[in-house]
Amino acid sequence: MIKRIFYLLLIFSVLGFSQSKDPVEILNNVIKAFEEIEDYVVDVNIRVDVAFLKVPDANAKIYFKQPDKVHMESEGFALLPKQGMNFSPLGFLKTDYTALYDKEVELNGTNVSVVKVIPLEERSDVILSTFWIDQSTNRIIKVESSRRPSGTFTIDLTYPDNEADFLLPLSMVFTFAIEDIHFPRGTTGDSDSKDNNEDEKNGKDKTGKVFINYSNYKINAGLSDEIFEDEKE
């Protein structure tokens, strides 16, 4: 009986310390896993939830090729955050940085490691980014990033439950402070501007959300560079 108890304690201790607490190792594992995705094509549905914006839901197709080539096709206007066009961990970690391991927490029923990243470049527009990472799948579950001059935004991601090796999200919720975002002309609603001003005075509707659903992924399809030529400056 004593041997059995000792054996169980040994198993639990191994399980408890199996997760790495080295922030660089955690991030490198995420990067290494994502680098196996050479390219992909995906359909997206975009819904904007901002009190004073009149933006219809939009559909688009996004093309991505490593390391950072992105092309989007849409029949109409699509208000899509840059992070929604290409959710790549490489975009957050492409410059030198200091990584700090924070803690282990449970997020939406998943045990995740919280890692904070501080860029070392003085001219970087990123001040601090925090990642909630599921080490068992190397998936990023949530991101919070503070940037100049656009303020702080958060990204919440969901993935297929039955495909642990699938690293691309099924959905993304991009949450931001309205006062920090500059919207294109023509997207604000004139009819309710008076009500919106009252809401701003009362401290209401200070955040906005963009909901993005991804479907019909085609991964490692061998995309041609010609697809991305229009994106060159």
Task: Flag whether 7 is in a domain.
Answer: no
**Per-residue pLDDT at 18:** 55
Task: Flag whether 81 is in a domain.
Answer: yes
**Per-residue pLDDT at 55:** 83
Q: What is the pTM of this model?
A: 0.80
**Per-residue pLDDT at 186:** 53
Total residues belonging to the chain: 233
Q: pLDDT truncated to tens, each residue of the chain (233 aa)?
A: 444 334 333 333 444 445 789 999 999 999 999 999 999 999 999 999 988 778 889 999 999 999 889 999 987 666 666 665 666 777 778 788 999 999 999 999 999 999 999 999 888 888 999 999 999 999 999 999 998 877 899 999 999 988 888 999 999 999 998 876 665 555 554 444 444 445 444 445 688 999 999 999 999 999 999 999 875 55
CA distances 201 to 150, 197, 198, Å, are 21, 6, 5
Q: What are phi and psi of 151, to 5 degrees?
A: 80, -155
**Per-residue pLDDT at 14:** 41
**Per-residue pLDDT at 215:** 96
What is the tens place of the pLDDT at every residue in 138-167?
999 999 999 887 789 999 999 998 888 899
Task: Flag whether 3 is in a domain.
Answer: no
Instruction: To the nearest 10°, report the CA torsion of 103, 106, 108, 112.
Output: 50
Task: Flag whether 41 is in a domain.
Answer: yes
**Per-residue pLDDT at 54:** 82
Task: Flag whether 8 is in a domain.
Answer: no
**Distance between start and end Cα atoms, the chain:** 71
**Per-residue pLDDT at 151:** 86
What is the tens place of the pLDDT at every residue in 180-195?
666 555 555 444 444 4
**Per-residue pLDDT at 165:** 86
Task: Flag whether 222 is in a domain.
Answer: yes
Q: Looking at residue 85, which CATH number applies to its domain?
A: 2.50.20.10
Sheet bearing 69-74, strands edge to edge: 69-74, 58-65, 39-49, 207-219, 171-177, 151-158, 139-147, 126-134, 110-119, 97-107
CA within 13 Å, CB half, 22: 7
**Per-residue pLDDT at 79:** 66
Task: Flag whether 166 is in a domain.
Answer: yes
Name residues whose C-beta falls within 8 Å of residue 159's C-beta, 6 or more positions apart in sequence: 137, 139, 166, 167, 168, 169, 170
Residue 185: give the domain boundaries.
Answer: 20-231
**Per-residue pLDDT at 3:** 43
Task: Quote the number of domains for the chain.
Answer: 1
**Per-residue pLDDT at 6:** 40
Task: Flag whether 142 is in a domain.
Answer: yes
